[in-house]
């Protein structure tokens, strides 16, 4: 009986280990399963006043002019790859041999000369998670004005955890470095047990074109409460990703709910410098006191804008009573899971570990 009990426990542990390991069978081309990147049609943007200073698309898989640093010392570094027909630079936070990794991987560009640029300089790049089921990859973009050594990178110009699925096109100002020769480092760090962070279509350029965008919403949100008031402050982040200063342009927000649609338009009379961002708070507050789900669309409008794809940003807030919904599942194999979901459909908590005899 004792041998049978030990055998049963051994089988249970083997099944449990198998169930856990399947979470990280990531990428098909290497023999693993993964959730692929959704096919995304990139918007075509006319840049008639855009001068390329330096660019890299990794199509030739040659990064001999880059400098790579494996700062965490795990033997895993940035490398080039082609996934689903897309050539890119990639860095892993999980591998089939090492399991969960804690990367601190640096990919440093060759020297980029901004001494003769006219207009405002920027860097564009595209980034995404290779496994769309595990997207919380974290990275930052650093600048050195001296050399390509890690200790020389003192300027952090952009940092984020990928916000979800899909590909993300990022534009970051290099306006503080006009007249200098710089090195740019992409640092994959502060994350673990995802899969791979990808980079592609990196371009450093100067611009004298008009290009405004709405890049964020500071308020209203549901960060503090699900119940909203009849005088909610409306604050958005505006970005001038063009090469000329902008002023006298219109900004608006449109609220859509069960009670109808309302649009508020105001004029931005200050000067938003090329390459700069600013928060703008509307004079007109928003009445969101009725229990409802509200979709708010923010928009900036200026003549001769070369890229209309970044002019609007849609954001959802809710004024609710905070109803919670509990869902539980027990399948034929003995696996049990439960999730706690609020009235907006957000998962507040969940439990998916292997369990026995749960009612």
222 and 168 in one domain? no
For residues 13 and 336, the model is more confident at 336
For residue 250, give the nearest of 209, 208, 311, 173 by alpha carbon.
311
Instruction: Give the pLDDT confidence of 282-313 residue by residue, as tens digits.
Output: 999 999 999 999 999 999 999 999 999 999 99
pTM of this prediction?
0.73
356 and 331 in one domain? yes
- Tell me, yes or no, whether 338 lies in a domain: yes
217 and 175 in one domain? no
Instruction: Give the pLDDT confidence of 107-120 residue by residue, as tens digits.
Output: 999 999 999 998 89
* pLDDT of res. 3: 32
* pLDDT of res. 65: 97
Instruction: Give the pLDDT confidence of 1-15 residue by residue, as tens digits.
Output: 333 333 333 333 333
Instruction: Give the pLDDT confidence of 220-268 residue by residue, as tens digits.
Output: 999 888 889 999 999 999 999 999 999 999 999 999 988 889 999 999 9
For residues 206 and 26, the model is more confident at 206
* pLDDT of res. 35: 61
Residue with tokens 């008639």: 48
308 and 170 in one domain? no
Sheet with 277-281: strands ordered across: 212-219, 235-240, 277-281
For residue 302, give the nearest of 294, 288, 312 by alpha carbon.
312
* pLDDT of res. 340: 72
Overall domain count for the chain: 3
* pLDDT of res. 320: 83
| For residue 341, pLDDT beyond 50 | yes
* pLDDT of res. 339: 74
| For residue 173, pLDDT beyond 70 | yes
80 and 186 in one domain? yes
Quote the CA–CA distance of 68 and 186 in Å, as a whole number: 10
- Domain ranges, residue 57: 30-207
In this prediction, residues 323-340 reach a mean pLDDT of: 64
Is residue 175 within 8 Å of residue 64, measured between CB atoms?
no
* pLDDT of res. 225: 83
Quote the CA–CA distance of 153 and 143 in Å, as a whole number: 5
340 and 231 in one domain? no
Structure tokens at 186: 């992409």
* pLDDT of res. 118: 87
CA Rg value for the chain: 24
330 three-state secondary structure: strand
For residue 64, give the nearest of 53, 74, 78, 76 by alpha carbon.
78
234 and 343 in one domain? no
174 and 55 in one domain? yes
327 and 313 in one domain? no
The domain spanning residue 57 has which CATH number? 2.60.120.200
Percent of the chain with pLDDT over 90: 70
């Amino acid at each position: 009986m004792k041998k049978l009990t030990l055998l049963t426990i051994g089988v249970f542990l083997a099944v449990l280990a198998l169930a856990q390991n399947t979470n990280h069978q990531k990428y098909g081309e290497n023999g693993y399963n993964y959730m692929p990147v959704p096919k995304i049609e990139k918007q075509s943007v006319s840049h008639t006043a855009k001068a390329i200073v330096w660019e890299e698309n990794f199509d030739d898989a040659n990064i001999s002019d880059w400098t790579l640093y494996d700062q965490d010392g795990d033997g895993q570094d940035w490398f080039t790859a082609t996934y689903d027909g897309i050539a890119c630079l990639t860095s892993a936070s999980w591998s089939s041999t090492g399991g969960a990794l804690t990367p601190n991987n640096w990919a440093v560009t060759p020297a980029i000369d901004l001494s003769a640029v006219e207009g405002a300089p920027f860097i564009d790049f595209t980034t995404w998670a290779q496994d769309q089921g595990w997207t919380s990859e974290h990275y930052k973009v650093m600048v050195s004005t001296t050399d390509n050594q890690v200790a020389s990178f003192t300027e952090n110009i952009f940092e984020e955890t990928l916000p979800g699925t899909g590909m993300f096109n990022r534009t970051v100002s290099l306006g503080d470095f006009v007249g200098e020769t710089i090195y740019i480092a992409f640092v994959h760090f502060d994350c673990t047990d995802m899969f791979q962070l990808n980079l592609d279509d990196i371009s450093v350029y100067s611009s004298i074109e008009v290009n405004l965008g709405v890049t964020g919403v500071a308020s209203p949100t549901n960060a503090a409460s699900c119940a909203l008031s009849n005088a909610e402050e409306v604050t958005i982040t505006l970005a001038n990703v063009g090469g000329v200063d902008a002023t006298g342009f219109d900004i608006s927000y449109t609220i859509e709910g069960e009670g109808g649609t309302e649009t508020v338009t105001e004029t931005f009379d200050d000067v938003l410098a090329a390459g700069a961002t600013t928060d703008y708070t509307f004079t007109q507050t928003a009445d969101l006191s009725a229990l409802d789900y509200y979709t708010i669309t923010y928009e900036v409008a200026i003549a001769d804008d070369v890229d209309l794809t970044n002019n609007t940003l849609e954001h959802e807030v809710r004024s609710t009573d905070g109803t919670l919904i509990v869902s539980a599942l027990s399948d034929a194999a003995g696996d049990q899971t439960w999730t706690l979901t609020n009235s907006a459909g957000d998962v507040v908590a969940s439990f998916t570990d292997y369990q026995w005899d749960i009612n």
